[in-house]
Amino acid sequence: MRLKIVQAGEAVLRQRAKPLNASAIRSRETRDLIEWMRETMHDAPGVGLAAPQVGLALQLAVIEDKPEYSKDAPPEVLKERERKPVPFHVIINPKVTLHEDAPIEFFEGCLSLSGFTALVPRARRIKVECLDHTGSSKVIEASGWYARILQHEIDHLDGALYIDRMHPRTFMGMESFNRRWKDKSIAEVRELLGLKR
């Protein structure tokens, strides 16, 4: 079943989501929700979807970066972004620790801000402590694009959107991004849009 993805302006996107307990995680309702969120994410398509994005204030997100999503990207772009496929998985009640590296910047979009993108600084490396779809504890050490996906989805669970972290001068529609900015390096974007270091 495909779920409706709510757009910016809905209160649920600005609330801190509620943790799930062990019995809720193992319930039929949560198993169904995970499968529906997976279908909705694939249909969009996206690389992550948090429960608040489908109108539910729960500490749950699904993530998958399929190989076909980046198959047409030039090798230098994949290398710069440190982007590799990520298999499907679920994170529940996550706690994130950011490593002390200098933040890295790339354009981000969001299924709840359909049609827009902006340059967003994020930690390059993170550690996430969470529960999986069975309620078992797991620790994820992530870097590059995977770390960015995790931070983006965990922000949703805290009531934040990428527009809260973006460089405001870089906010633009996807049509403009694809026409003028997609092939430029981050350094060129920073220079052309007058971003200071």
- The model's confidence at residue 185, banded by pLDDT at 50, 70 and 90, is confident
Annotated active-site positions, please?
153
pLDDT score of 157 more than 70: yes
Average pLDDT, the chain: 95
Look up residue 186 and give its amino acid. Answer: I
4 occurs within a structural domain: no
pLDDT higher than threshold 70 for residue 195: yes
Based on the structure, what is the number of domains in the chain? 1
Residue 175 has pLDDT above 70, yes or no: yes
**Residue 67 located in a structural domain:** yes
Cβ atoms of residues 86 and 146 within 8 Å: yes
- Record the tokens describing residue 100, joined without a space: 């002390």
- pTM of the full predicted structure? 0.95
Judge whether 15 lies within some domain: yes
Residue 154 lies inside a defined structural domain of this protein: yes
Tens of pLDDT along 3-27? 999 999 999 999 999 999 999 999 9
The arithmetic mean of pLDDT across residues 40-69, rounded, is: 97
* Residue 197 clears pLDDT 80, i.e. is over it: no
**For residue 62, what is the domain's CATH number?**
3.90.45.10
